[in-house]
Amino acid sequence: KPVGIALAIGDRVRFRENLPDLKIRNGNCAFVRCIERNDSNSIVIAFELDDGQLIEGPWEGGIKLEVHH
């Protein structure tokens, strides 16, 4: 069952699953760089991976993350 988590800009996260469409592997780490709402009122989050790659898109939830505040 999915559980809500609180995220803030600057939080460090670890992805806990493979997301091949985004070229993210289980264990990749990233910083939260931006959190905002788009025109359709969806939450959009930008993550900066340790390799410098910036991933941005709608937050659907359901992605397995660990948050390190």
Q: Residues 17-38: pLDDT tens digits?
A: 998 888 889 999 999 999 998 8
- How far is the C-alpha of 16 from the C-alpha of 24, rounded, in Å? 10
Task: Indicate if the alpha-carbon torsion angle 63, 7, 14, 3 is positive or negative.
Answer: negative
Q: Residues 32-58: pLDDT tens digits?
A: 999 998 898 888 899 999 999 999 888
pLDDT class for 62, splitting at 50, 70, 90?
low
What pLDDT score does 35 carry?
92
- How far is the C-alpha of 67 from the C-alpha of 56, rounded, in Å? 17
What's the pTM value of the predicted model, to 2 decimals? 0.81
